[in-house]
Structure formats: structure tokens, C-alpha cells
């Protein structure tokens, strides 16, 4: 009976096949006539998907390479999350060195990088599979509170959509992407480009170069977004391992409260990568303090070296960690001086070795390993005393005014003196919660009721060192008043503030919970952040481009305005042999002609300094082969209005003399840009 019952009725297979075929036929006919999307939409989605996949390919290759390297060095990890985050950082640094080597060898061809990527896939295939298993194992991480999860999903999703659009950020168009574009054009990394920032440590630029050769600038700048995810995970891991599991997600909440995080994550900058490597150096040093496995000390030094491959300002990191090593060994543990010295030598040697490629390259390219700084010691190609003084802007800072120094945390938070506050907004939480650290450290009931993990002190020492170095910079120079440069300080402060906030539970009473009240205010701050970011998102409005309803040119025109339309005019109307000098405009990424930008906004003053007269300047420009000058009128007006640099009436008058006597207006782009042709025979 049961067999007859389970047996299908006659014609069952034909009936099922008919229903399925009819469904597919009906759907196919309908959607062939009533198309849900057009070809432009399909192309845009496919293009964005390819950008994402190829940027993830870079990160996955880096992770696999980092896993291979760390395993060769005998480094073992305590959790999947720790392994994934740290090996990804090591491997991406290694990929940057590989790209540098290929670039110096003159192998910047797309087919070379596809070939290298294929070889890496074959060689590292076991590590790739192991890394995928590690990623899958990370799903077991404790989930964040629902509201925090919602906030993270919203803020990271909006940043991700912006990251999928063509680059419009200032420093990306100035040098982070411009350098790789110029190198690709010559198929090698070459000296002789008068943009001093291209001789800064270039770890991130090499990763952008890798992405641009695989696909393009969107895939390249997505790498910075993946660093934002790695940094978020590192904040969580540090708090969970070295502070307390219960403060892990609160640490992430305070970290993610900074509006600058999603802004920078969507741009081709290097600040998030810098914060990642510096926090990774602190994290691995704390690991070494815990179990004294030498691998952690050396990995911390390597992370310091990778940080020094991103910005000169990162020198604070190894110096601070060296001081922490001395304090821990010599003062707290009373270790023998020989042990302390050997530890410092090993730490310093590894950090310098990892950082050295960028400084050695600078020495051979410019004669100065720290170019353009330390000019008085090393000199440097294209540089002189005038440019060194102009760039340093010594004496333009806030000085040693006690009132201004005491008010600096408020000034910093409000952004009223910041050179560019938009990309350095830290939000109000750090200023609002800072007194909690004093209460946590000094108030006896909290000292008695809560433990004090040693890592809190290390984080605070690191943050304080970063803050003091930054403060000295703003004391001497206005150009260093950028809150974005303090991102490593804020990132280190976030877990410490979470510990102090959690300690307030000891003060809770049935009548009132200060801990809960403060978290209510934090929730309000995060809600307002969503509003801020939503408005920024609407201003950029990436959706028409991502949906194929807007071309790349239309998106760039809408977001860059006169700058992009003038670049298009130059590209379409000037002959291929044209050579253009930019005045008061450092961005040249979208210009397809030979161009000398104005990288530190001093070109006109420097010409006056070197040649003294309009006639001599015209002669020099003709001798150098310049055919056109592009004046950024708004840039000049900004310099005059803000008095950022000493542009005098006489300087403007001399420029007007050059324009009237030796230049002819070719094209005006509104009130922002004027393109001049240099008259033939100028200066002769």
C-alpha cells in the first residue's frame, strides 16, 4: 500500500515539466517586451561589480600573502578575527612593496599585473582557501546591539556607494591617484616629477597603482574602504582581548561616531590605513606584553614600519612604543639594561627595515630621504630655501599662547581653525567623554569598584603622544592644523573611553543611571551622524551614476563643476604637445596634457623669487617649453582672502602685467578658471 501511495500518478512528469516551461516562457516573453532595466543599467551594475570584485581580489591576495609570510615567521594567532585582520595588513603592505619593485623595474603594464596576480593565485591557493575559511569562521563573532548594527550598516553602506563613484576628493586628484596615473603613462616609477608629495612614503599609492592597472581608479580607491572595515574590526579585537569583552562593541560605537570615518573611507586617501597600522602596532605590542612571544614584538615593529610607509608624521608611533617598552621592562619589571637594549635594537631594526624602501627610493630620486623636509641637511631636487620656508609656514601657528593651548580641544572639535574641517570632523563625543577618563582614573569609588586593564594606560600614552606631536605642529605652522592628522589618536582613545564609560556602572542607583543616560546621548549623536552623512550623500548623489542614468563625465561635471569642465576643454582643444602651467591649482588628475600643477600654491611667488621680473619669467616659461598657463582665479582669491600665504598687491599686479604683455586668453570657464596661451617669442 505504501509503495502505491508514494508512486507518482500517470503523467506526473509531463505535468510538472509543462508547468515549469510555461512559467519560464511567460516570464521570458514578458520581460523581453517589458524590460525591467536597460543596457545602460546593466552595464553600470556590471562595471561596479567588477570594481568591487577586483578590489576584493587585491585584499584577498594580500591576506593570503600575509598568511604565508606570518606562518613562515612562526606567528600563530589566538582567534580567526585576529588572524584575518593582522595578516591582511601585513599582506597588503607586502603587495605594496611588490608593486614598487615592479614599478622601479619598468613593468607597469596591465598584462604584467594580471600575470603576477595569476601567479600569486596559483602559488598562494592553499592560503587563499585557508583565508576564506578564516573569514567564514569570523561569522561567530558576537553580534553588536541592534541599534549599533543598524547604524554601522547605514553609515558603511553610504560610504561604500560613494566609494563606487569616480574620484572627486582633493588629495586623490592632487597626488594619491595622480602619481600612479603618471607612472602608468611611463610604465615605470620615475623621478623628475615636480610634485613633492609623490616623494612622500607611498605604501597606499602603490596599492592604488595596483588597482588602477587591474581595472581603474574606482577599484583602486575601494581598497581604502576595505581598510576602514579592517580598522573597525581591529578596534573590536583590541577592546575584546586587552580590555574586556563587554566594551568591545561600545569601543566600536565611539570609534564609528567620527563623521570623518565614512568620508575618508569613500576617498582615495591614506589616513584610515595609517590609523590601522598604528593601532595594529599597539595591539601586537600589548600581545607581547601579555605572553612575551618574540613574534609579537617583531610584528609590532613591522606594523610601525608599514605605518612609516604612509606618512612622515607616523614617526611618533615607533618612538612612543619604544618608550612603552622601556617603561614596561626597565621600570615596571626591573629588567637588566642589556635585555632592554637588545629588545629596543630588535624592535628598531625591524621597523626601520620595513620602512626603508620608501626612504631609500627618495634618496636616489631626490637626494633627500625625507624629501621635501630636512632641506637644510640633505637638500633636494626642485627644492630651495624659498620653497622650504613657504611649505613649512613657520611662525603662522597659534604659538605658545596658554589660552589657545588650553582651548585647543574645543577649537579642534569645532573646526573653527581647521585647514579643511570637512574631512577631519571628529564629532562631539571625544570632547564630551574626555572628562570620564579623569573621573575613571582619580575617583576612588570607581578605582575600588572596577579593574584597570594595563592596556588602557598604553592606549592613553599613545594617544597623548600623538596629541602632543600634533599640538607642536599647530603651534609652529597653520598648515598643520588639520584634525584629520589626529585620527590615530582618536582611534586609540575610543576603547579607553569605552572602559571609562563602562566603569560608571559603579555609580548607578535605582533612582538614576549615569551610564545609561550617557549612552542615550551617544545614541542621539549617532542619529545626527546619519543625518549629516545622509545630506553629504545627497550632495554627491552617486545613485544616478551607479544606476547607469548618468555618465562618468556627467557625474564629474556635477560634482567638480568648473574644474572638470576646464580639464575637458584642455583635453579636447589643446594639441597633444601642449605643456600647461597651473597657477593656484594643485589638482591635475583629469588633465591629459603635459602639465605642471601648483602643488603647494607657491609657483607664482617662486617664479618672482627666482627671476625677479615679468620679462625674465616669460623668458623662463618659453625656454621650458610651456605653451599655456591655467589660472585658477578662485584659488588666487582664496589665498588673498584668507591670508593663508603672503600674496601681496604687488604680486597680483605683476601677474596682471605678465597676462597683459605675454599671454592671450584662450578660454574662460565661468569666474573660476582662465586658460592663457603663451605668446610666441615671449621674453625674447
- Taking a C-beta distance cutoff of 8 angstroms, is the pair 627, 678 a contact? yes
Strand order in the sheet with 628-632: 594-596, 579-583, 628-632, 673-678, 663-669
Query: What distance separates the 2 farthest-apart alpha carbons in the chain?
Result: 111
The three cell numbers locating residue 587: 589638482
Q: Is residue 180 within 8 Å of 270, Cβ to Cβ? A: no
Are 115 and 53 members of one domain?
A: yes
Dihedral angle computed from the Cα positions of residues 460, 466, 470 and 473, in that order, rounded to the nearest 10 degrees: 130
Determine the 3-state secondary structure of 450 from DSSP.
coil
Confirm if 318 and 308 have CB atoms less than 8 A apart.
yes
Q: Are 65 and 123 in contact (CB under 8 A)?
A: no
Tell me if 174 is assigned to some domain. Answer: yes
CB 506 within 8 A of CB 444: no
pLDDT in tens, 449-505: 567 889 999 999 999 999 999 999 888 888 888 899 999 999 999 999 999 999 888
Contact in structure between 89 and 223 (CB atoms under 8 Å) = no
Q: Nearest-CA neighbor of 326 among 352, 347, 299, 298?
A: 347
In-domain check, residue 323: yes
User: What is the distance between the alpha carbons of residues 445 and 440, in angstroms, rounded to a whole number?
Assistant: 9
Q: What is the DSSP string of 591-637?
A: --SEEE--TTS-HHHHHHHHH-SHHHHHHHHHHTT--EEEEEHHHHH
Decide if 412 is inside a domain.
no
Same domain for 522 and 579? no
Instruction: Mark whether 508 and 563 lie in a shared domain.
Output: no
DSSP assignment of 632-662, as one string?
EHHHHHHHHHHTSS---HHHHHHHHHHHHHH
DSSP β-ladder status, 628-632 and 594-596: unpaired
The verdict on residue 684 lying in a domain is no
CB 583 within 8 A of CB 603: yes
pLDDT given at position 683? 47
**Euclidean distance between CA atoms 545 and 616, whole angstroms:** 48
Question: What is the C-alpha to C-alpha distance for residues 384 and 196, in angstroms, rounded to an integer?
Answer: 12
- Does residue 105 share a domain with residue 174? yes
Which residues, at least 6 apart from 128, have a Cβ–Cβ distance to it below 8 Å?
60, 61, 64, 121
Q: Which of 327, 331, 325, 363 has the alpha carbon at shortest distance from 347?
A: 325
User: What is the rounded CA–CA span in Å between residue 298 and residue 347?
Assistant: 6
Strands 594-596 and 579-583 come out as parallel
Closest C-alpha to 285, from 336, 334, 322, 310: 322
Residue 53 and residue 113 share a domain:
yes
Residue 309 to residue 303: CA distance in whole angstroms:
10
In this structure, the number of other CB atoms found within 10 A of the CB of residue 470 comes to 22
pLDDT value, residue 497: 95
CA–CA gap between residue 93 and residue 97 (Å, rounded): 7
361 is a domain residue:
yes
Q: Give the end of a domain, one of 470, 504, 537.
A: 537
At residue 383's C-alpha, the angle toward residues 378 and 385, to 5°, is: 80
Residue 610 phi/psi, 5-degree rounding, is -80, -35
596 has which bridge partners? Answer: 581
The answer to whether residue 543 is domain-embedded is no
DSSP helix/strand/coil, 291: helix
Statement to judge: residues 22 and 58 lie in one domain? no
* Assigned domain for 493 exists: yes
Could you tell me if 24 and 57 lie in one domain?
A: no
Radius of gyration of the chain (CA): 28
Q: Give the pLDDT confidence score for residue 448 in this predicted structure.
A: 60
What distance in Å separates the CA atoms of residue 547 and residue 470, rounded to the nearest whole number? 42
Cβ 214 vs Cβ 227: under 8 Å: no
Is there a single domain that holds both residue 18 and residue 75?
no
Phi-psi group of 561: left, alpha or beta (phi > 0 → left; psi -120 to 50 → alpha; rest → beta) = left
Residue 271, C-alpha cell as written in the block: 589616513
- Tell me the CA end-to-end span of the chain in Å, nearest whole number: 111
C-alpha neighbours within 13 Å on the C-beta side of residue 144: 18
Report the 10 Å Cβ neighbour count for 431: 14
Closest among 187, 262, 265, 173 to 632, alpha carbons compared: 173
Q: Are residues 532 and 671 in the same domain?
A: no
- Residue 564 and residue 529 share a domain: no
Q: What is the pTM of this model?
A: 0.94
Q: To which H or E segment does residue 64 belong?
A: helix 39-72
d(CA 157, CA 136): 21
Beta-strand relationship, 628-632 and 673-678: antiparallel
Q: Which regions of the chain are under pLDDT 70?
A: 1-6, 444-450, 644, 680-684
Q: Residue 616's domain spans which residues? A: 556-678
pLDDT, residue 391, reads 86
CATH code where residue 592 lies: 3.40.50
Q: Where are the alpha helices (DSSP H) in 292-399?
A: 294-307, 316-326, 337-366, 375-378, 385-392
In total, how many domains does the chain have? Answer: 3
Confirm whether 414 is domain-assigned. Answer: no
Verify that 97 and 22 share a domain, yes or no: no
Instruction: Name 238's Cβ contacts closer than 8 Å, sequence gap at least 6.
Output: 251, 279, 282, 283, 286, 455, 495
CA distance 109 to 378: 34
Q: Are residues 315 and 426 in the same domain?
A: yes
Amino acid at each position: 500500500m505504501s509503495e502505491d501511495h508514494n508512486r507518482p500518478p500517470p503523467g506526473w512528469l509531463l505535468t510538472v515539466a509543462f508547468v515549469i516551461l510555461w512559467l519560464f516562457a511567460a516570464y521570458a516573453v514578458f520581460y523581453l517586451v517589458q524590460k525591467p532595466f536597460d543596457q545602460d543599467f546593466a552595464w553600470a551594475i556590471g562595471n561596479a561589480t567588477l570594481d568591487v570584485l577586483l578590489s576584493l581580489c587585491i585584499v584577498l591576495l594580500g591576506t593570503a600573502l600575509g598568511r604565508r609570510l606570518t606562518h613562515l615567521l612562526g606567528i600563530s594567532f589566538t582567534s580567526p578575527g585576529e588572524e584575518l585582520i593582522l595578516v591582511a595588513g601585513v599582506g597588503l603592505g607586502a603587495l605594496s612593496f611588490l608593486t614598487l619593485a615592479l614599478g622601479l623595474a619598468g613593468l607597469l603594464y596591465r598584462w604584467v599585473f594580471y600575470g603576477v596576480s595569476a601567479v600569486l593565485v596559483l602559488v598562494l591557493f592553499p592560503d587563499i582557501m585557508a583565508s576564506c575559511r578564516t573569514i567564514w569562521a569570523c561569522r561567530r563573532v558576537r553580534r553588536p546591539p541592534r541599534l549599533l548594527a543598524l547604524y554601522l550598516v547605514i553609515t558603511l553602506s553610504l560610504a561604500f556607494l560613494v566609494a563606487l563613484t569616480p574620484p572627486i576628493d582633493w588629495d586623490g586628484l592632487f597626488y594619491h591617484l595622480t602619481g600612479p596615473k603618471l607612472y602608468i603613462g611611463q610604465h615605470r616609477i620615475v623621478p623628475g616629477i615636480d610634485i613633492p608629495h609623490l616623494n612622500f612614503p607611498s605604501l597606499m599609492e602603490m596599492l592604488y597603482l595596483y588597482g588602477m592597472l587591474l581595472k581603474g581608479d574606482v577599484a583602486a580607491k575601494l581598497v581604502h574602504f576595505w581598510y576602514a572595515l579592517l580598522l573597525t574590526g581591529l578596534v573590536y579585537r583590541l577592546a575584546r582581548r586587552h580590555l574586556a569583552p563587554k566594551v568591545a562593541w561600545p569601543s566600536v560605537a565611539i570609534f564609528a561616531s567620527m563623521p570623518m570615518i565614512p568620508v575618508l573611507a569613500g576617498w582615495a586617501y591614506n589616513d584610515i590605513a595609517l590609523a590601522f597600522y598604528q593601532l595594529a602596532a599597539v595591539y601586537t605590542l600589548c600581545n607581547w606584553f601579555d605572553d612575551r612571544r618574540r613574534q609579537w614584538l617583531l610584528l609590532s615593529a613591522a606594523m610601525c614600519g608599514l605605518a612609516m610607509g604612509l606618512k612622515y608624521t607616523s614617526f611618533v608611533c615607533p618612538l612612543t612604543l619604544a618608550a612603552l617598552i622601556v617603561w614596561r621592562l626597565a621600570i615596571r619589571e626591573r629588567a637588566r639594561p642589556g635585555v632592554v637594549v637588545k629588545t629596543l635594537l630588535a624592535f628598531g631594526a625591524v621597523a626601520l627595515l620595513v620602512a626603508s624602501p620608501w626612504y631609500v627610493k627618495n634618496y636616489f630620486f631626490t637626494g633627500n630621504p625625507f624629501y621635501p623636509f630636512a632641506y637644510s641637511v640633505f637638500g633636494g631636487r626642485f627644492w630651495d630655501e624659498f620653497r622650504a620656508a613657504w611649505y613649512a609656514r613657520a611662525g603662522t601657528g597659534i604659538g605658545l599662547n596658554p589660552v589657545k593651548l588650553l582651548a585647543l580641544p574645543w577649537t579642534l572639535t569645532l573646526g573653527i581653525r581647521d585647514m579643511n574641517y570637512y574631512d577631519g570632523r571628529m564629532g562631539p563625543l571625544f570632547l564630551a567623554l574626555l572628562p570620564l577618563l579623569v573621573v575613571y582614573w582619580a575617583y576612588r569609588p570607581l578605582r575600588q569598584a572596577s579593574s584597570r586593564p594595563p592596556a588602557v594606560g598604553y592606549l592613553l600614552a599613545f594617544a597623548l603622544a600623538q596629541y602632543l606631536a600634533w599640538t607642536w605642529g599647530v603651534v609652529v605652522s597653520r598648515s598643520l592644523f588639520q584634525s584629520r592628522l589626529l585620527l590615530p589618536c582618536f582611534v586609540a582613545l575610543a576603547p579607553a573611553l569605552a572602559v571609562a564609560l563602562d566603569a560608571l556602572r559603579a555609580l548607578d542607583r535605582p533612582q538614576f543611571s549615569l551610564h545609561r543616560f550617557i549612552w542615550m546621548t551617544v545614541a542621539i549623536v549617532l542619529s545626527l551622524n546619519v543625518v549629516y552623512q545622509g545630506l553629504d550623500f545627497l550632495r554627491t548623489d552617486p545613485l544616478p551614476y551607479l544606476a547607469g542614468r548618468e555618465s562618468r563625465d556627467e557625474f564629474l561635471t556635477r560634482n567638480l563643476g568648473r574644474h572638470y569642465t576646464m580639464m575637458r576643454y584642455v583635453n579636447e582643444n589643446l594639441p597633444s604637445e601642449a605643456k600647461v602651467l597651473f597657477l593656484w591649482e594643485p589638482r591635475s588628475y583629469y588633465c591629459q596634457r603635459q602639465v605642471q600643477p601648483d602643488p603647494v600654491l607657491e609657483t607664482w611667488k617662486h617664479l618672482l623669487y627666482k627671476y625677479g621680473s615679468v620679462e625674465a619669467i616669460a623668458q623662463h616659461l618659453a625656454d621650458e617649453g610651456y605653451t599655456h598657463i591655467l589660472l585658477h582665479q578662485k584659488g588666487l582669491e582664496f589665498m588673498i582672502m584668507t591670508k593663508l600665504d603672503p600674496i601681496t598687491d604687488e604680486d597680483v599686479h605683476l601677474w596682471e602685467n605678465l597676462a597683459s604683455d605675454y599671454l592671450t586668453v584662450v578660454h574662460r570657464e565661468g569666474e573660476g578658471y582662465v586658460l592663457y596661451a603663451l605668446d610666441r617669442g615671449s621674453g625674447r
